[in-house]
Amino acid sequence: MKKALIIVDVQNDFCDGGALAVPGANEVIPYINLLMEENQYDQIILTQDWHPANHKSFASNNNRKIGESIILNGVPQFMWPDHCVENTFGAEFHKDLNREKVTHIIQKGKNTEIDAYSGFQDNNHFMKTGLDDFLKYHEIQLVEIVGLALDYCVKFTCTDAAANGYITCLHFNGTRAVNVKPDNGKDAIFEMLQKGVTILG
């Protein structure tokens, strides 16, 4: 069975000191590096938030406060600080992430009008990123997922992987949650389990 490791959004803006730092984010990087060192994957894929500066998910572009919600193209949209703006330091992968074995990079969130948490598609399910096509082309059947953040991009990447028919495993030690609300991370785990995602210790 061919398997892939999908590393979600380990970018400077989500790590310590970043514009949208996930608590404990830097702790997952050594774990992810060890996974790549100790396991044999047929493909190792990075997803990368890659927003234009005028992205509609940014509070600054809507005259809103960070943490507010609006309806954007028919779906609720949390208002984030500006983050992972294309071609900026914040959008770059963290320097401590070992990228020697990476075979493919998927950029997401490039459409100004629609956010994209999942590595597979935007939040409105209008546009696919090409990740599913890439995995199917390489006959991947099992995906292991790590990265940032558990309660947003990791959760939606996991549930989309399961929905697309992949055996889907999340490495719990390889992710951290934003926890805008204290139980968001716990709720994300419960939702993933309900949708057929296996949680690895």
Can you tell me whether residue 105 is helix, strand or coil?
A: strand
pLDDT for 201 beyond 90 = no
- Give tens-digit pLDDT for 141-166: 999 999 999 999 999 999 999 999 99
Q: How confident is the model at residue 177 (pLDDT cuts 50, 70, 90)?
A: very high
pLDDT for 62 beyond 90 = yes
Q: How confident is the model at residue 191 (pLDDT cuts 50, 70, 90)?
A: very high
- Give tens-digit pLDDT for 73-116: 889 999 999 999 999 999 999 999 999 999 999 999 999 999 99
DSSP string, 152-172: IIIHHHHHHHHHTT-EEEEEE
pLDDT for 68 beyond 90 = yes
Closest C-alpha among 136, 125, 112, 134 to residue 47: 134
Active site residues: 9, 108, 153
What's the rounded mean pLDDT across residues 178-188? 96
Output the pTM of the full model: 0.98
Q: Are 8 and 145 in contact (CB under 8 A)?
A: yes
Q: What percent of the chain has pLDDT over 70?
A: 100
